[in-house]
Amino acid sequence: MGGAYVHIGQDRFLEAGGAAALRGLGRDNDVGTATAGLRAQTLLDLGSGAPVAAHGLVGYRRAFGDVIPTALLAFQGGASFVSAGLPIDRDVLVASAGLDLRLSASTTLGLAYTGQVGARAQDHAVKGGFTYRW
């Protein structure tokens, strides 16, 4: 179980440039998420003498609040209008899987996949990591 809260505050602004100058009103966007799922990790002995940690996660994430980021804008002397960003899916499946090879007591090399899939958007990434502890 996990959660997160993101607050994005936008200040007012005014461009110079005559009739084409854009002005924006200050606005806040707030999004909260709650994630529930299963996480597992195990050590594998591959016979090389270097332990390998395998880890994975599968879960469900629910978003609350301002899932469609918006900005209230207007051209100089014109009527205001709303510009909306890409919506955040309210419900997504999240997953990750990875391997960490412990090269020494202070050094680890890792490779992992992480992703989320919703009705309107998908996000996938492969990440590599090198950790040195002193």
Mind listing the pLDDT tens digit for each residue in 47-62?
Answer: 777 789 999 999 999 9
pTM: 0.72
DSSP H or E segment with residue 95: strand 91-102
Closest CA to 27 of 43, 13, 15, 6: 13
Q: Which amino acid is at 31?
A: V
Tokens matching residue 1: 């179980």
Q: Which of 69-78, 95-104, 113-122 has the lowest mean pLDDT?
A: 69-78
pLDDT tens-digit map of 90-104? 999 999 999 999 988
3-class secondary-structure state, position 108: strand
